[in-house]
Amino acid sequence: MTPPISILIATYNRARFLPSAIESVLSQTRPDFELLIWDDGSTDHSLDIAQSYAHQDPRVRVVAAAHRGVAAARQAAVAQLSGAYLGWVDSDDLLAPTALEETAAILETHPEIGMVYTDYLVMDAAGHVQGRGQRCQLPYSKDLLLLCFMTFHFRLLRHTVFRQVGGINLALPYGYDYDLCLRLSEVTTIQRLQKPLYAYRSHPDSFCSQQEQDQIRESYLAIAAALERRGLTDRYAVVLDHGHYRLQRQHTAAFQGCHTAVSVAPGATTPA
């Protein structure tokens, strides 16, 4: 019988953190899930670590693939998942024990909701928690998502809506996550669960730290595409300015947006 929840960990040279990430998934209070660990051509012993867990727990499956990058790896891995609900955990982060139980309960009782996301904690490389992420300060709305990526972690979504929007856009290998959430917001209801059920590890070797400028540039492209899909290009334009992006009313004064976990500028308005 296919488990209702499919969780993905895509990893590349994360042997230092991978065991903790895997164990955080296997420690869930809701046990009816599959865990796919996709090794994206690691050159350390990440694959050995993943396989050791697969030998211990039948819910764990491992795929060893050639290196292709995080976006392409994630898209290829999701194609092998069959659960009604999908979620992923980065291989250097942690999932709180009740994350699957609490997020899946919302999807099961509210068929109109296509994705639920949680608040998150920030921790350092050693795992010391530093507090809630700044994006947790932002309320969710489809419009505000055009300014700030608050649907950050953890997300559980219906497999059907993932397919409906066409999955991951491989043309945006550094901004695919934000782009996916923008597209999802246009076809389904998104619900925020205001509990920190995910721990995001901030360290110099993280994907976000190493690719920040590429993420800024591709976030700009994702916002521009969303404005086009939403029929707002006659009213708003996205502007990339000194490493930040902002939405600007056509023929009126500009207002500031954000590309990382910073608040919208005081007095800013959002598109209708």
pLDDT given at position 272:
29
Distance, in Å, from the CA atom of 207 to the CA atom of 92, rounded to the nearest integer, reads 10
**Span 159-175, mean pLDDT?**
96
- E-strand stretches of the chain: 5-11, 33-40, 60-65, 85-88, 94-95, 113-123, 129-132, 155-158, 189-201, 236-241, 244-249, 254-256
Instruction: Give, for 99, the enclosing helix (H) or strand (E).
Output: helix 99-109
Q: What dotted CATH number matches 1-92?
A: 3.90.550.10
**For the segment 37-55, what is each residue's pLDDT rounded down to a tens digit?**
999 999 999 999 999 999 9
Q: Which of these, 168, 193, 163, 194, lies nearest to 181 by C-alpha position?
A: 168
pLDDT given at position 253:
43
Instruction: Pick the more confident residue, 80 or 148.
Output: 80
Q: Is the pTM of this model over 0.85?
A: yes
Report the C-alpha dihedral over residues 68, 80, 155, 34, rounded to 10 degrees.
-120
Least confident span in 99-113, 114-128, 232-246:
232-246
pLDDT given at position 207:
53
pLDDT given at position 208:
54
**Span 68-72, mean pLDDT?**
93
Given a cut of 60, is residue 219 above it in pLDDT? yes
What percentage of the chain carries pLDDT values higher than 70?
A: 88
Instruction: Pick the more confident residue, 253 or 34.
Output: 34
